[in-house]
A = this chain, B = another copy of it.
Amino acid sequence: MSQEHQTEVERTMAELNFFDAVKRALREEMANDDRVMCIGEDIRSHGGPYGTTKGLMELYGEKRVIDTPIIESAFFDAAVGLSLMGWRPVVDLMAADFITLCVDQVIHGASHYPFMFDVQIPLTIRGPIGGGLRFTASQEKSLEAMIANFPGLIIVYPSSALDAYGLLKSAIRSNDPCIVFEHKLLYFYSVSDEFPEDEFTIPLGEAAVKRTGTDLTIVSWGWPVRESVKAAEVLSETEGIEVEVVDLRTLRPMDRATILESVKKTNRAMVVTEAHRFGSMGAEVAATIQEFGFDDLDAPVARLGAPEYPIPFSAPIQDAYLMTADKILQTIKELLV
């Protein structure tokens, strides 16, 4: 359980933002294990579109930081081949949305080979995800639901600098193929945490309670976790409603126990996603809660998500799409007040 972990973290030294946390994780894992390598587009000199891989080539050499042409399909295939030869590739997608270009191999290669051939595919895919920068739908979508139904994959989606660091390290060390989504607003708004000096990891598959409460459980992941916590603070002050916020952090495998424990206490739950409600991982959360916590529920599990259109450019329609503390707050008021 991460709560322990976080108290441990309190004896800390420095503050790192999300971006630097990712950078530190990559550096440390490359230092720890000389089979860890990065492959992708424009990662050498530029460090990828957000600069997270910048400097790695200088530190670890040209062999371990490979630039490719714009060939998402073949470079992901290549990463599978590298994995089979004992490398541990960290595949850099410029936008998580481009997983659409290699999802064939994510499924038919990475997720199937270990089962079919008794091999390890210890690769990690990192992709900046989510909206808020006005890049529109082909670079700002949520796509975790696209790959969630395929056994063999691990899906990670941190919402804080500490989680990004600890989970990325675990993903790189994992012998299973891991997809790590990094929400772009977390880079952009330079979300920070106190960091201990010593290395640490956060286990895959463990949710974290990011705020404790007794009246309603929010289950969320990524950027909306922060909006949820914000909404919870306001509700506490203005309405005396205490919302517990469970951050899934890993979507597959999903930490059912932590979710159910929280719902047992609050007896009400809401899933908050940046994704469209219909067909999202929010559905899995709601289905899970009602299935295993039916008797704890005083009301149906609510779902809050994006409207049913692709995320557009212009401020009013993009804002109406994104998940905000205000939307969460209003919805909870409707539910509880």
Q: Contact between A97 and B108 (Cβ–Cβ < 8 Å)?
A: yes
CB distance from A125 to the nearest CB of B (A): 15
B276 touches A310 (CB 8 A): no
A116 to B290: give the CA distance in the assembly, Å.
37
Stretch at the interface among A234-242, A295-303, A323-331: A295-303
Picked from B137, B138, B300, the residue with its CB within 8 Å of the CB of A291 is B300
The interface residues of chain B lying within 8 Å CB-to-CB of A185 are none
A292, B147: Cα distance in complex, Å: 27
Is A312 on the interface with B (CB-CB < 8 A)?
A: yes
Q: How far is the CB of A283 from chain B (nearest CB, A)?
A: 4
Report which A residues bind B (CB closer than 8 A).
Answer: 97-98, 100-101, 103-104, 107-108, 111-112, 115-116, 136-138, 141-143, 145-152, 252, 254, 275-276, 278-284, 286-288, 290-292, 294, 297, 299-303, 308-310, 312
Would B276 and A287 count as touching, CB distance under 8 A?
no
Question: Do A284 and B278 have beta carbons less than 8 Å apart?
Answer: yes
23 A-B pairs whose Cβ atoms sit less than 8 Å apart in the complex: A112-B138, A116-B136, A116-B310, A116-B312, A148-B278, A149-B276, A149-B278, A150-B279, A151-B276, A151-B278, A151-B310, A252-B278, A279-B284, A282-B287, A283-B283, A283-B287, A286-B291, A287-B290, A287-B303, A291-B302, A291-B303, A294-B299, A294-B300
Q: Is the CB of B280 within 8 A of A149?
A: yes
List 17 additional A-B contacts (Cβ < 8 Å) besides A112-B310, A148-B278: A100-B103, A103-B146, A108-B137, A115-B310, A116-B310, A145-B279, A150-B276, A151-B308, A151-B310, A152-B310, A278-B284, A283-B287, A283-B288, A286-B290, A287-B290, A292-B300, A294-B297
Taking a contact as CB atoms under 8 Å apart, the answer to whether A290 and B279 are in contact is no
A254 to B252 CA separation, bound complex (whole angstroms): 25
**Given A116-B137, A300-B291, A303-B291, A310 and B111 contact (CB-CB distance below 8 Å):** yes
Q: What is the minimal beta-carbon distance from A185 to any residue of chain B, in angstroms?
A: 20
